[in-house]
Amino acid sequence: MKLLKLYLGSIGLLLLAISAPAQFVKYANDFLNVGAGARGLGMGGAQIASVKDATAGYWNPAGLAAVKDNPQLSAMDAEYFSGIAKYYYAGLAIPAKNGKGTFAISFLRFQVDDIPNTLYLVQPDGSINYNNITTFTSGDNAFLLSYGQKVNDYKGFKVNLGGTAKIIYRTVGTFAQAWGFGFDGGIQLSKGNLRLAAVVKDVTSTFTAWSFTFTDQEKQVLYLTQNDIPTKNTEITAPGVVVAGGYNFNLNKKLSLLAEANLHLSFDGRSNTLVSSNLLNIDPNVGVEFGYNRTLFFRGGVSNFQRALSDGDLTNQKKVWIFQPSLGAGFKTGTVSIDYAFTSLANQSNSLYSNIVSLKLDLVKSRITRRG
């Protein structure tokens, strides 16, 4: 129980620390906010309180404690913006031999290929040579090392705690690369059908250090075109908190309805969110999952609430609220789960929606019966 009190106390200290001025970079390492697994994406990202599989290494490491008996593998391959961007996720959860906790390793990659390099498009004499256009790839990678375990009950609540260490590696062609490191901590509390949770993201801030490599010829072109030649740069991701609550309604022996709401609290300056201020921003997301016989699942969610100008003539435009809707479905049989989500990285004003499929597999240990 001392561990639980220490964790709750750290949240209070964090809220005091992040109220002090700091040079945070808004949207730094934003690829880490895409998501993991079609189940979570179909529910609008409302997963903090209810996640209990290998994807917990991404959403809330405390949920790993529910993976008790066998290792579990989860994978997802997605494309966004009509195939321009590719997103990969894979996670493996392995219960500890002592039965007290579960380890997980996760990999995320957000990749954009065939980006035009127009550095040599304009010749020294001012003419344009399109044959000089080459392409490069930009890739954002993250390795997550997570652990979650059950601790002593607290006032009738079952308590799980967890933590995730994040190693970040980003590249932009051969021009730039960056390494970063950060840490997340999570807690889940459950009592009957009620679920409560919190995640502290980037507890000590996440630092990402960029270095740049240009040839002498590239530096000369940048100089002649009056562009700055970057050397080094550091991005600092501000800490944030996600609090969540959920409830599982058992409608009858075969029908169930899970509802969850998350509140993302950020402190890096005013953002276009439902609640916005220079000190605190609150960005909610809500998701539901309707289940039949623990085999078929139908999901929906809303997130990314923003203020935007309405469509129509410029003189009649008004500010309206828009949001990002998501839909999904799932099928589970034995040790295999297949999930589907229909969602986007933006809001309802963006028509570039993606079809996402993910796979989850329980790696059941084989049993060999010896005959004497």
Average pLDDT for 12-29: 53
The 3-state DSSP class for residue 171 equals: strand
The predicted model scores a pTM of: 0.85
245 closest CA partner among 225, 230, 257, 259: 259
pLDDT of 234 reads 86
Asked if residue 346 is part of any domain, the answer here is yes
- Show the domain range for 111: 2-362
Asked if residue 314 is part of any domain, the answer here is yes
In terms of pLDDT, which residue wins out, 292 or 279? 292
The CATH number of residue 70's host domain is 2.40.160.40
Asked if residue 369 is part of any domain, the answer here is no
pLDDT of 361 reads 94
CB 160 within 8 A of CB 62: yes
Count: domains in the chain = 1
Asked if residue 367 is part of any domain, the answer here is no
Average pLDDT for 63-84: 90
State yes or no: pLDDT of 347 exceeds 70: no
State yes or no: pLDDT of 9 exceeds 70: no
Average pLDDT for 221-226: 80
Q: Indicate the average pLDDT of the chain.
A: 85
- For residues 283 and 346, give the distance between their C-alpha atoms in angstroms, rounded to a whole number: 14
pLDDT of 312 reads 61
In terms of pLDDT, which residue wins out, 14 or 85? 85
In which band, very low, low, confident or very high, does the pLDDT at 267 lie, cut at 50, 70 and 90?
Answer: confident
Asked if residue 240 is part of any domain, the answer here is yes
94-120 pLDDT, tens digit each = 999 877 899 999 999 999 998 888 888
pLDDT of 313 reads 58
Asked if residue 371 is part of any domain, the answer here is no
Average pLDDT for 181-200: 94
State yes or no: pLDDT of 280 exceeds 50: yes
pLDDT of 351 reads 59
pLDDT of 140 reads 94
State yes or no: pLDDT of 37 exceeds 60: yes
pLDDT of 371 reads 44
In which band, very low, low, confident or very high, does the pLDDT at 69 lie, cut at 50, 70 and 90?
Answer: confident
The burial class, CB within 10 Å (0-12 / 13-18 / 19+), for 260 is buried
Asked if residue 296 is part of any domain, the answer here is yes
DSSP string, 144-159: EEEEEEEEEEETTEEE
Integer CA distances (angstroms), 308 to 271, 286, 291, in order: 13, 20, 35
Signed CA dihedral, 14, 19, 24, 25: sign only: positive
Asked if residue 230 is part of any domain, the answer here is yes
Give kind and range of the element (H or E) at residue 92. Answer: strand 85-95
